[in-house]
């Protein structure tokens, strides 16, 4: 896997340098991607995807902070969180434009290493957000403590199902560090504290709600006594919700715990189909990333790890001002 990703990264570098453009399957927002050529007042942010509302909320926070500080911002990401090659081409294109700083959220922590080295050689400071690259080049990262967030989800699942029973996990990636940490935080907490809860299966749907729905239906069919399902991101959780609807399961028969926010999850919680979810602070992540990038441009050293927090929300606290400000629709 590591060798293959290294080769992919090298090919992406070659393709981008020859073509001078990003993949046709990618989505770009936030202005002209070529506008930052050598401009120290520009910041290029490269996210993991655009298919979930989470990334639009990160973009919102980043744009707010860039406007506040007088910097030009480009914000782009591949069409889905499985398109590692497309993301690498975006990274290469950003290096070629020579912005004041680059912010990067790694889809694959290994594949990005050669491009991090290129950015360093080009004297472009790099900060990270949401998920890191296995490189010493980036100055810092703004993110959620995903293991702690996964453990929080486990605590609530355990309470909701009475501390005993069979549950499953619909995760969104085996490579993406945030997905791995959300899964492991959940699994480890269950092992440590809840001996009577059995995780019968963990499967991966790439954050795609259709794939995740099929996975959830298969798990429910294979384990008729299943008491709960945990979805590790927005698409995974909505896939579970859709599966329950398609199977016409009686409300409350299966406890669903999700991750992230978005209108569909909020509506599912309001209706009682989903018990609750963990939300991050995506706007805060965006703002913190741009602030860190500006500090790097100015020759300052940003705080190494900025934890922007995670929160449990359900029917009882949706209107709490502290929770409402970190939900996005």
Predicted TM-score of the model (pTM): 0.81
pLDDT of residue 16: 40
> 257: part of which helix (H) or strand (E)?
strand 255-259
**CA-CA distance, 238 to 299, in Å (whole number)?**
43
pLDDT of residue 18: 37
pLDDT of residue 17: 40
**CA-CA distance, 274 to 278, in Å (whole number)?**
12
Give the model confidence (pLDDT) of 264-307 as tens digits: 999 999 999 999 999 999 999 999 999 999 999 999 999 999 99
Strand partners, 103: 45, 127
Q: Please name the residue that has the structure tokens 């499967």.
A: 203
The SS3 assignment for 300 reads coil
**CA-CA distance, 44 to 58, in Å (whole number)?**
13
Which residue stretches of the chain have pLDDT < 70? 1-38
Q: Please name the residue that has the structure tokens 């409402």.
A: 324
Give the model confidence (pLDDT) of 220-268 as tens digits: 999 999 999 999 999 999 999 999 999 999 988 999 999 999 999 999 9
**DSSP code string of 155-184:** HHHHHHTTT-EEEEEEES-SSSHHHHHHHH
**CA-CA distance, 141 to 304, in Å (whole number)?**
6
**CA-CA distance, 308 to 143, in Å (whole number)?**
6
**CA-CA distance, 26 to 40, in Å (whole number)?**
25
């Amino acid at each position: 896997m590591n060798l293959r990703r290294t080769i992919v990264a090298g090919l992406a570098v070659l393709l981008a340098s020859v073509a001078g453009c990003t993949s046709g399957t990618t989505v770009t927002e936030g202005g002209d991607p070529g506008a930052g050529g050598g401009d120290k007042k520009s910041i290029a942010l490269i996210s993991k995807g655009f298919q979930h509302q989470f990334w639009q909320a990160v973009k919102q926070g980043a744009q707010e902070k860039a406007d506040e500080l007088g910097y030009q911002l480009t914000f782009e990401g591949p069409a889905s969180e499985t398109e590692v090659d497309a993301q690498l081409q975006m990274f290469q294109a950003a290096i070629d434009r020579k912005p004041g700083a680059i912010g990067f959220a790694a889809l694959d922590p290994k594949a990005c290493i050669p491009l991090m080295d290129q950015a360093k050689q080009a004297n472009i400071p790099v900060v990270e957000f949401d998920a890191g690259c296995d490189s010493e080049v980036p100055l810092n990262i703004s993110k959620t403590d995903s293991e702690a967030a996964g453990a929080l989800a486990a605590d609530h699942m355990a309470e909701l199902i009475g501390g005993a029973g069979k549950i499953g996990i619909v995760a969104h990636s085996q490579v993406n560090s945030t997905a791995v940490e959300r899964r492991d935080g959940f699994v480890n907490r269950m092992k440590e504290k809840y001996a009577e809860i059995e995780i019968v299966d963990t499967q991966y749907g790439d954050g795609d709600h259709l794939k995740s729905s099929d996975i959830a239906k298969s798990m429910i069919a294979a384990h008729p006594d299943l008491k709960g399902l945990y979805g590790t991101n927005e698409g995974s959780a909505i896939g579970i919700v859709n599966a329950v609807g398609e199977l016409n399961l009686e409300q409350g028969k299966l406890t669903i715990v999700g991750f992230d926010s978005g209108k569909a999850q909020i509506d599912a919680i309001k209706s009682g189909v989903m018990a609750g979810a963990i939300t991050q602070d995506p706007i805060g992540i965006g703002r913190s990333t741009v602030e860190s990038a500006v500090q790097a441009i100015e020759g300052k050293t940003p705080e190494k790890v900025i934890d922007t927090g995670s929160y449990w929300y359900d029917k009882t606290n949706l209107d709490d001002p502290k929770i409402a400000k970190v939900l996005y629709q």
